[in-house]
Structures are given as structure tokens and as C-alpha cells.
Amino acid sequence: MQPTFLTFPDPDAVASDAAARFIALAEGAIAERGRFVVALAGGSTPERLYKILATQTLDWTQIMVFFSDDRFVSVNNRFSNAGLALRLLPLCPRTTFPIPAETTLDAAECAAQYENELIAALGGEPRFDLVLLGLGDDGHTASLFPGKAALTATSGVTHSTPGVLPPPVDRVTFTFALINAARNVLFLVTGAGKKEKVAQWRAGEGSVSTLPVRGVAPTNGTCTVLLDQAAS
């Protein structure tokens, strides 16, 4: 099933809509289940969203924050996706789970440990209320890069060598299995660099191997893509 594609005038409008969705889902999940389980996206696009969320009234002690992927670096490293979120959001250390890069030897061990942490926190069948994702100019999402073994991993979290886009560091990433178990998946896609892959995605072109974003299809959940005009 194809995602729902929504186009907005500019990145600020995308971030504003994403923030409203985030808050509504958080309030609903906390009211229904006592907590909101979210995976934040990597890259630079979410920065606008985080700056809006930082001004909102959210009880972060009730929000379990994971990362749909990250570079195998410490949170203090400029390449760290978790580092960006920690700098911009008033996250609660007790309920925030960066990938354990600082206490593991390599990305493979880090992915295995992250999956264990995730299962310990969420139970054996982890189902995220919201998974935020981006789209790379090469069609990747999370750190599921074209042609890489991670695309067919059957665990919940796996690792990958770098794709063609920088930074050239190993990755830890959610697999399609974990992403597609989510209640809601929300993509934030902005900029002209994404236009070609968005067009292929919307036309149903390519395969998961050549256009990994096509592998995102929640089994029993929503999938929405927020685009700005430049990417649409």
C-alpha cells in the first residue's frame, strides 16, 4: 500500500505539521497507554521539528525516545543523530535510549545490544507509536542503503557499512520488520535533492534494493510522507 503524500509550501510548514502530529500522537498514547514510544529520525531535516517541539508542553518523562538509526559514534560526535536531538530537546535521560556506541566494540555488537535494550524496555514484540524517518538523496531511509545486507535482516535492529552518502561511518539501524510493526510512520522529506527519488517512490518504480524507502509499509499502521514543494 502506498503512503499518503502531503505537500507543503516549505520546510517550516512541514515541520509545523509534523510537530502537530507528534503532539497529538503523544497525548493520545500517554492517555491510552501511559507512555508514548517514539523513534526519532536522523539527518538534518528533523532539526526544525525538534526546535518547535522544544517550545511545546510535553511530558518527556512519559516519552520513550529511541533512534531509528544512528552513526556508530558517541553522542558527542558531530555525526551523532542522538546528539542533535539531545542538544535541541529537553529529553528525559531515564527514558531516552541513544545507541550504545560508547560501550560496544563495533556496529554489529552495538546493534545487538540496542535490540536487547529495546526489548527490555518495550517487551518482546516492540511496537512503536511513531517512527520518524527521512529519505536520502539515494533513496535510503534510516540506514537501510541500496544493495546492503541490512535490507534483508530479520532482526529488529541491525548494522550497516556506510552507503554512498556521507558520513563514511558504520551505522546501527532499525530493520523494515521493526519499522513496519509501528502504529504510525512519518517521513519528513524536504529539498530538491529528494525530488527524483520521491517521484520514483510515488510512481512505484524500482525495488527495495534500489529504492529502499519502498520497504516501508506498516503492517497495521499509518504511513505519511510530509513533503515541501521542492521535494514534491
Query: Backbone phi, then psi, for 223, in 5-degree steps?
Result: -140, 115
Radius of gyration in angstroms for the set of CA atoms belonging to the chain, rounded to a whole number: 16
Instruction: Indicate the residue among 98 and 136 with the shorter CB distance to ligand 6PG.
Output: 136
> Mask: binding to ligand 6PG, 79-118, rule CB under 6 A, as x and -?
--x-------------------------------------
| Minimum separation from the CB atom of position 157 to ligand 6PG (A) | 14
Instruction: Indicate the residue among 41 and 181 with the shorter CB distance to ligand 6PG.
Output: 41
180 Rama class: left (phi>0) / alpha (psi -120 to 50) / beta: alpha
| Minimum separation from the CB atom of position 163 to ligand 6PG (A) | 8
DSSP state of 96: B
> Rounded to whole angstroms, what are the CA distances from 19 to 26, 36, 122?
10, 14, 24
Return d(Cα 50, Cα 19) in angstroms, integer.
8
* All cell numbers assigned to 41: 529520525
By CB under 6 A, what part of segment 32-51 binds ligand 6PG?
A: 41-45
Instruction: Indicate the residue among 115 and 141 with the shorter CB distance to ligand 6PG.
Output: 141
- Say if residues 40 and 185 touch (Cβ distance below 8 Å): no
| Minimum separation from the CB atom of position 84 to ligand 6PG (A) | 10
> Mask: binding to ligand 6PG, 123-162, rule CB under 6 A, as x and -?
-----------xxx---xxxx-------------------
Amino acid present at 195: K
Residues that bind ligand 6PG (CB under 6 A): 41-45, 69, 71, 81, 134-136, 140-143
